Chains A and B, each alone.
Chain A
Amino acid sequence: MRVTVTVNGAEYAREVEPRLLLIHFIRDELGLTGSHWGCDTSNCGACIVWLDGKPVKSCTLLAAMADGRALRTVEGLATSGRLDPVQQGFIECHGLQCGFCTPGMLMTARWLLDRNPDPDEAEIREAISGQICRCTGYENIVRSIRWAAEHSTGHPLETE
């Protein structure tokens, strides 16, 4: 079947099997390998992308279900060559070590801050509670998202 999606504002169309999972469509068919294929069981959240404005675990959706819809992936966070504040926050606060969970964490963080620009620690931990990081113990991820909340006005790279 033919699947047509908009990803980060650009339209893509591919002929795929209906059983193809969305994460493999994004990575293998579209070549956008920023989103990671992790646990394959909707536990870890490394594969989180936005589907019509909401984060989803893309290992647990079919590419067919995204037909005609809009996706946003980690490649779409930076605009005009500027990192999103959540990306900058992960740099400033050492929010990653191996980086495997990072794309999913970033997409959830952006979604959280869009809805709640000033989340406290408990709200941040709740938002990322469906995602697994095996490196940081989450402390620095929470700090990174707080950093982004505090630097979300203006342009983060110019604050340095």
Chain B
Amino acid sequence: MQVPSHVEYERATSVEHALSLLGRPEHRVLAGGHSLIPMMKLRLAQPEVLVDINGLTELAFIAKDGGQLRIGALARHADLLDSAVAGECCPIFRDAERVVADPIVRLWGTIGGSLCQADPSEDLSAAFAAARATAVIRGQGGERAVPVREFHLGPYETVVGPGELLTEIRVPVAPGTGSAYEKVSRRVGDWSVAAAGAVLRLDGGKVAQAGIGLTAVGAESFVAAEAEEYLAGRPADEDSFARAGAIAARHCHPAADQRGPEDFKRHLVAELTARALRRAAARAEVR
């Protein structure tokens, strides 16, 4: 029987109230809890106080706002999967959410919680990195915006400090852009063996800007930067996508584990990156 250690429980009634309760490192945000509670049960996390933010429904939105998609930190995975507005402008998130955990976990787990958990195999971190999204973090002194590519400091560690709360993720949405996410996992609900997300902005058959996110393969900040640079200005064709995949595979740092050996994971990175780019390009042309 897995039992968390003793903990105090507070229920936040507003963002300001939550911030006032989060002043110390031992005070942890409790959102969906589907990462934190398992870690507490295994005693890998032993917070002194949990600050339950599930009542802050003002953070549960998903909305298109001019040139960006705004996703509240408390939006559930199922909300993002089912969102017509997100599916229309950013299909990468629908692709990714279809393979995040399982349908029941997706009903309760939150977008902000996934990002803040900062698991090195987490899917949305790669998708948001590919999309060059921005994280909005609120503290008692005000609000700051951090590119998602600078949000993670390392495994299970982010720039969100004591007394701060991730409130929103903002995704730029530009015309002529297509996106897609491709994942290989051993079974439903499992972490990726490897996964790749691509966001492509095309201009006259050429790549104006490429975003490529990788997860579970040790890519720095979940980004395949060398492959992105390679693609800039090149024709959006099979040859470019295959070469970009090969570059991404060469520059990531997968570790052999129970999900597979290193060479298999590099093979997946090459193939999944090329597939994601291909689908992203097809979607960009339709738009």
Contacts and interface: CB of A to CB of B under 8 A. Distances in A.
Nearest to A129: B188
B113 to A, nearest CB: 12
B104 A48 contact: yes
Contact of A19 (B4, B34, B54): B4
Contacts of B41: 21, 40
B37 A55 contact: no
B102 interface: yes
B202 to A, nearest CB: 33
A41 B38 contact: yes
A140 interface: no
A57 interface: yes
A51 to B, nearest CB: 8
A65 interface: yes
Interface string A37-81: 000111101001001001111001110110100000000000000
Nearest to A67: B11
14 contacts: A18-B50, A19-B3, A19-B40, A21-B3, A41-B2, A42-B105, A54-B108, A57-B104, A57-B105, A60-B33, A62-B9, A65-B54, A108-B104, A130-B103
Task: Please tell me the size bucket of the interface on B.
Answer: 20 to 34
Contacts of B1: 40
A158 interface: no
A56 B105 CA distance: 7
Interface in B174-193: 188-189
Given A130-B103, A130-B105, A60 B9 contact: no
Interface in A116-157: 126-127, 129-131
B188 to A, nearest CB: 4
A60 B109 CA distance: 10
B104 A131 contact: yes
